[in-house]
Amino acid sequence: MKTLSTSLLVIGGGPGGYVAAIRAAQLGIRTTLIESGPLGGTCLNVGCIPSKALIHAAEAFENVCRYAADSPLGIRVDSPSIDLAQMLRWKDGIVARLTAGVAALLKKNGVHVVKGWANIVDGKTVDLQPENIGAEPLRLSCENLLLATGSRAVELPALPFGGPVVSATQALSPPSLPKHLVVVGAGYIGLELGIAYRKLGAEVTVIEMLERILPAYDDELVKPVAASLRRLGVRLQMGCKVLGLGAGGDAVRIYDARGDESKAFELSADRVLVAVGRRPRTEGYHLESLRLDMNGPAIKIDDQCRTSMRGVWAIGDVTGEPMLAHRAMAQGEMVAEIISGKRRRFIPASIPAVCFTDPEIVVVGQTPEEAALAGLDCLHAQFPFAANGRAMTLESAEGFVRVVARRDNHLVVGWQAVGRGVSELCAAFSQSLEMGARLEDVAMTIHAHPTLGEAVQETALRALGRALHV
Ligand SMILES: Cc1cc2nc3c(=O)[nH]c(=O)nc-3n(C[C@H](O)[C@H](O)[C@H](O)COP(=O)(O)OP(=O)(O)OC[C@H]3O[C@@H](n4cnc5c(N)ncnc54)[C@H](O)[C@@H]3O)c2cc1C
Rounded Cα gap, residues 463 and 470, in angstroms: 12
DSSP for 170-226, please give it. HHTS-SS--SEEEEE--SHHHHHHHHHHHHHT-EEEEEESSSSS-TTS-HHHHHHHH
What pLDDT was estimated at residue 260? 79
Q: Whose CA is nearest to atom 9 of ligand 1?
A: 48
- Of 455, 467, 463, nearest to 381 by C-alpha is 463
What pLDDT was estimated at residue 14? 98
Q: Whose CA is nearest to atom 3 of ligand 1?
A: 47
Any idea what DSSP says for residue 386?
G
Is the C-beta atom of 364 inside 6 A of ligand 1?
Answer: no
Is the C-beta atom of 367 inside 6 A of ligand 1?
Answer: no
The residue to mutate among 42, 95, 121, 214, having the most atoms of ligand 1 within 8 angstroms of its beta carbon, is 42
Ligand 1 nearest atom to the CA of residue 12, by list position: 34
The tens-digit pLDDT sequence of the chain (470 residues) is: 899 999 999 999 999 999 999 999 999 999 999 999 999 999 999 999 999 999 999 999 999 998 888 889 999 988 999 999 999 999 999 999 999 999 999 999 999 999 999 999 999 999 998 777 778 889 999 999 999 999 999 999 999 999 999 999 999 999 999 999 999 999 999 999 999 999 999 999 999 999 999 999 999 999 999 999 999 999 999 999 999 999 888 899 998 887 778 888 999 999 999 999 999 999 999 999 999 999 999 999 999 999 999 999 999 999 999 999 999 999 999 999 999 999 999 999 999 999 999 999 999 999 999 999 999 999 999 999 999 999 999 999 999 999 999 999 999 999 999 999 999 999 999 999 999 999 999 999 999 999 999 999 999 999 999 999 98
Is the C-beta atom of 323 inside 6 A of ligand 1?
Answer: yes
Q: Whose CA is nearest to atom 38 of ligand 1?
A: 149
Give the residues across from 314 on adjacent strands: 147
**Catalytic-labelled residue, pool 380, 447, 449, 469:** 449
- Of 193, 378, 360, nearest to 272 by C-alpha is 193
Contact 127, 139 (CB under 8 A): yes
What pLDDT was estimated at residue 259? 77
Rounded Cα gap, residues 410 and 427, in angstroms: 20
What pLDDT was estimated at residue 69? 86
- How much is the pTM? 0.96
Any idea what DSSP says for residue 233?
T
Question: What's the sign of the alpha-carbon dihedral 38, 40, 41, 43?
Answer: negative
Is the C-beta atom of 11 inside 6 A of ligand 1?
Answer: yes
Contact 363, 352 (CB under 8 A): yes
Q: Whose CA is nearest to atom 7 of ligand 1?
A: 48
449 is catalytic: yes
What pLDDT was estimated at residue 284? 97
